[in-house]
Amino acid sequence: MKILMIAPEPFFQPRGTPFSEFHRLQALSKLGHEVDFVTYPVGEDVEIKNVKIYRSLKLPCISNVKIGLSIAKVFLDIPLFIQAIWMMLTRKYDCVHTHEEAVIVGALLRKFFGYPHVYDMHSSLPEQMSNFGISQSKWLFQMGEAVERWVLKHSLKTIVICPYLGERVEKLHRDQPYLVIENVPVTDDSRYVTPEEVHALKQRLGIRDETVVVYTGTMEAYQGIDLLLESAKHVSKQYEQVRYVLVGGHPKQIEQMKELATLLGVDKITHFVGQQPVQDMPLYTHLADILVTPRKDGKNTPLKIYSYLRAGKPIVATNILTHTQVLNPEVAVLTDNNAEAFAEGTLKLIRDPELGKRLTANAMRLSDEKYSYEAYLQKTDQVYKFVEQSIRNGEGKDA
């Protein structure tokens, strides 16, 4: 099929939704589809077979887009949506595939022009408004829910990235067909990491025989980096041979966390390496003896959880819905949502290597059985076979 995909995101940048879009594009390419991908004029170009990237008008005052809803996104969305609608109306496409708030454009194109529309739902828009502090108004939240219900109604098929969002779709529009496709990031051509590369990275960081605890991801407040650093203080008091390596974050966020690490007295055992190229992420999971995700709140499962499962390293995670939709006590150490408990979970793995081996084996088995890349491809193919069948049956257009 010929697909127009609309993504109001800085693409490519190493963070949640752009990662998801990257892997969705790769999957569609592997399945033989052609995609015109319309996105912001911010981010790095990447080469994906059968995919052409089109960037919207560059605005001189905007060079960065923070995570979540923002004024910058509003200004960037206007030219992006105009360009996408123009392309849809002047070129021949079989389907429009939208991410995040671009679903409004997809719903409009289906409602008024009859184009088949696939909605890639990464989060609930009204919940994002609350989570990022844009509005605590009950009236605005209800209005957001009404908009979300309307766009779901005008989507031929909805993809959700976790079970919680599937429950939300059922609540808002019970008859809407949806499919859960977890953000499995590991492709069948993943980069192989040699022991020599890991040794060189350890030398570069000055790590010798210490236990290495690794975090990968953004450094937004909800990720719990402060909780992780506080837990590092408790761990280091009982076990001195430990190092923490934190991958990700913008320079300003890193400086703030470095200041906190100094204040807590863990700056000498903590390494902030910043954002790393996507192809180098396996190197950092191989570096780890323990992988951690100290997230404080949330309902959507982070993409890194699936790479953690396959990494062959034990996991410590906070016992909240965003993690427990995938993780359980058989595959990870789950702790209460505070620094002391998280430290105890980390120390538990340090003191009991056999526990770590059992959890790791179970995690890899779960990944193979439920979250393999083959399953990811099959589910993506299922969505577009549904679209093709609906078009053949004359059901692709809105009633």
Phi–psi pair at 275, nearest 5 degrees: -70, 140
Three-state SS at 309? helix
- The answer, yes or no, to whether residue 397 has pLDDT greater than 90, is no
**Token pair of 211 as six digits:** 């236990």
Q: Which of 126-140, 222-236, 299-313, 347-361 has the lowest mean pLDDT?
A: 126-140
List helix spans (H) across the chain. Answer: 16-30, 71-90, 103-113, 125-131, 138-153, 163-172, 195-205, 225-238, 251-264, 281-287, 304-310, 321-324, 339-351, 353-370, 373-392
Q: Is 33 helix (H, G, I), strand (E, B) or coil?
A: coil
Q: Which residue has the tokens 């959880």?
A: 305
Residues 80-98 pLDDT 10s = 999 999 999 999 999 999 9
pLDDT, tens digit, 9 for 90 and up, residues 329-383: 999 999 999 999 999 999 999 999 999 999 999 999 999 999 988 999 999 999 9
Q: Is the pLDDT of residue 134 over 70?
A: no
Q: Please enumerate in sequence order all residues whose Cβ is within 8 A of that of 66, keeping only pairs 6 or more positions apart, or say none.
A: 72
> Do the beta carbons of residue 349 and residue 316 sit within 8 Å?
yes
- At residue 282, the 3 state secondary structure works out as helix
95: helix, strand or coil = strand
pLDDT band, residue 298 (cuts 50/70/90) = confident
pLDDT at residue 140 is higher than 80: no
With beta carbons less than 8 A apart as the criterion, state whether 243 and 209 touch: no
Which of 57-61, 276-280, 348-352 is predicted least confidently?
276-280
> Which band of pLDDT confidence, cut at 50, 70 and 90, is reported for residue 131?
low
Tokens of residue 362, six digits: 């179970």
Quickly state the pLDDT bin for 263 (edges 50, 70, 90). very high
Share of the chain above pLDDT 70, in %: 95
Closest of 300, 378, 331, 226 to residue 19, by C-alpha? 300
SS3 332: coil
Sheet of 290-293: strand order equals: 270-274, 242-247, 211-216, 290-293, 315-318, 333-335
pTM of the model: 0.83
Among 58-72, 129-143, 303-317, which is the least confidently predicted range? 129-143
342 preceded by a cis bond (ω within 30 of 0) = no
- For residue 194, what are its two tokens? 């040699």
d(CA 338, CA 231): 8
CATH architecture of 195-370: 3-Layer(aba) Sandwich (3.40)
Judge whether 2-184+373-392 and 195-370 match in fold: yes
Domain locations in the chain?
A: 2-184+373-392, 195-370
β-pairing, 157-160 vs 117-121, is parallel
pLDDT surpasses 70 at 123 = yes
Is residue 18 within 8 A of residue 117, CB to CB? The reply is: no
Determine which helix (DSSP H) or strand (DSSP E) holds 120, and give its type and residue range: strand 117-121
Locate 159 and state its tokens: 């993809």
Provide the pLDDT confidence category of residue 136 given band limits of 50, 70 and 90.
low
**pLDDT score of 188:** 44
Between CA 359 and CA 356 the distance in angstroms is: 5
The pLDDT of residue 132 is above 60 = no
pLDDT over 80 (residue 398): no
Res 135 pLDDT > 70: no
191 pLDDT band (50/70/90 cuts)? low
First-last CA distance in the chain: 22
Q: Among positive and negative, which fits the CA dihedral 316, 321, 325, 328?
A: positive
Structure tokens at 61: 């005052």
User: Under CATH, which number does the domain 2-184+373-392 receive?
Assistant: 3.40.50.2000
Provide the pLDDT confidence category of residue 189 given band limits of 50, 70 and 90.
very low
* pLDDT value, residue 173: 77
